[in-house]
Amino acid sequence: KTVIRQAWLAGERVCLIGHSLGSVIAYDALWELSREDGDTRRIELFVTLGSPLATRFIRRSLRGAERKGAERYPSNIVRWANFAAKGETIALKPMRGFFAPMQELGLVESISDETELYNHYRGDRGLNVHESYGYLIHPHVAGCIGDWIEAVSTERALDAAPAASSS
């Protein structure tokens, strides 16, 4: 939470990436920031990779799980992109089915699931479809994150252009 707050205080726009259990920690931190701390700033892009968030055991343990309606979910995510590789044993279910109420309640603009991608990462022990490196180099994941970075960079350049020309 501290790093996210520091980025916001510096005026930075934030893309938060969580892999595996890290996505659960990130989700809980976002819930705490918005629901317990009352922070109204938002994460522009939440990317989950090989995430167990949609599994029953994890869903029941999430921050806010005992609450009803909008209070059950974080309110500080603009867009959520979830990626799960074929053969994953951690990310067993798509997010949209379980977290669709977030969109219906207006808490998030979109939730996308891409669950048919191939993660070809090979380490010393052979193929590992859950490895974060394999996700991050996949064209769809890299494209999603790269598109966000490009949009932020373009907007910064446009914001800076009038200031540069007026000096």
The token pair at 44 is 């522009």
Would the pLDDT of 57 be above 90? Answer: yes
The predicted pLDDT at position 128 comes to 77
The predicted pLDDT at position 78 comes to 98
- Record the pTM: 0.91
CA atoms within 13 A on the CB side of 157: 6
The predicted pLDDT at position 77 comes to 98
Q: Is 108 exposed, middle or buried (0-12, 13-18, 19+ CB in 10 A)?
A: buried
Q: Rounded CA gap, 5 and 23, in Å?
A: 18
Q: If you ran DSSP here, which 8-state letter would residue 75 be given?
A: S
Q: Rounded CA gap, 16 and 44, in Å?
A: 8
The stretch 34-62 carries a mean pLDDT of 96
